[in-house]
Amino acid sequence: MALFTREEEERISAAITAAERKTSGEIVAVVADSSETYLYVPFLWAALVSLLVPWPLIHFTWMKVQYIFLIQLAVFLVLLVALWPKNVRAALVPRSIRNNHAKRRATEQFLAQNLHTTKGRTGVLIFVSVAERHAEVLADKAIDDKVPAGTWQEIVDTLTSEISQGRATEGFIQAIMVAGDHLARHFPPGAPDPNELPDHLIVLTS
């Protein structure tokens, strides 16, 4: 369920490097294949459906209880296998719950990648969670205070639109460029200007 090929990852990494040449700020790009395992989902749905199976068989057939139990067990196992793929699991979860998981993972990554520890408090995280179909931009206080309200959401909207149209790489690069322009406008390169955080695309698998 990878969103980018190796070549596309390199293009995105190059875009981060180019954007950071124009600013003392830091940009980190993270893509996660999923923000939650949702391992409980197949068991939940398989159990619910299999619990309903015996009732029509009991009321409308003369089938022995042992056979009904075996059918119930077979339905449970078949559904468990059918619903096990990660994309199927995620699709069965309400969007609001998926979004909450993705937002939490984005916040975790903001902290895990040390974006809150940059010298000028100018770190920007661009985060995409593939299974949840969710994108998030999180910015540290110094840069967040300087951009108009809704700036980061505009980047997210453009990014998700590009991804939905099959142009994920272009969308990610554009998001990096726009974030870089905002950083460059308010935090131009300084001297010295250490590169505190990694420039490459960070890919999380689960």
SS3 breakdown of the chain: % helix, strand, coil, rounded to 5?
A: 55, 10, 30
Amino acid occupying residue 100? N
pLDDT at 195: 61
pLDDT at 62: 84
What CATH topology corresponds to 6-37+94-204?
Diaminopimelate Epimerase; Chain A, domain 1 (3.10.310)
pLDDT at 82: 96
Q: How many helices (H) and strands (E) does the chain have?
A: 9, 4
pLDDT at 194: 61
Q: Enumerate the domain spans of the chain.
A: 6-37+94-204, 40-91
Amino acid occupying residue 123? G
* CA 83 vs CA 38, 86, 133: distances in Å: 11, 8, 19
Question: In the chain, which stretches have pLDDT less than 50?
Answer: 1, 192
d(CA 37, CA 44): 14
In contact, 151 and 56? CB cutoff 8 Å? no
Tally Cβ neighbours within 10 Å of residue 81: 11
pLDDT at 40: 93
Provide the 8-state DSSP code for 194.
-
d(CA 198, CA 27): 8
* CA 195 vs CA 22, 118, 175: distances in Å: 12, 10, 20
pLDDT at 94: 93
pLDDT at 120: 84
Residue 27: closest CA among 39, 37, 17: 17
d(CA 108, CA 30): 11
Residues paired with 31 in a beta bridge: 128, 203
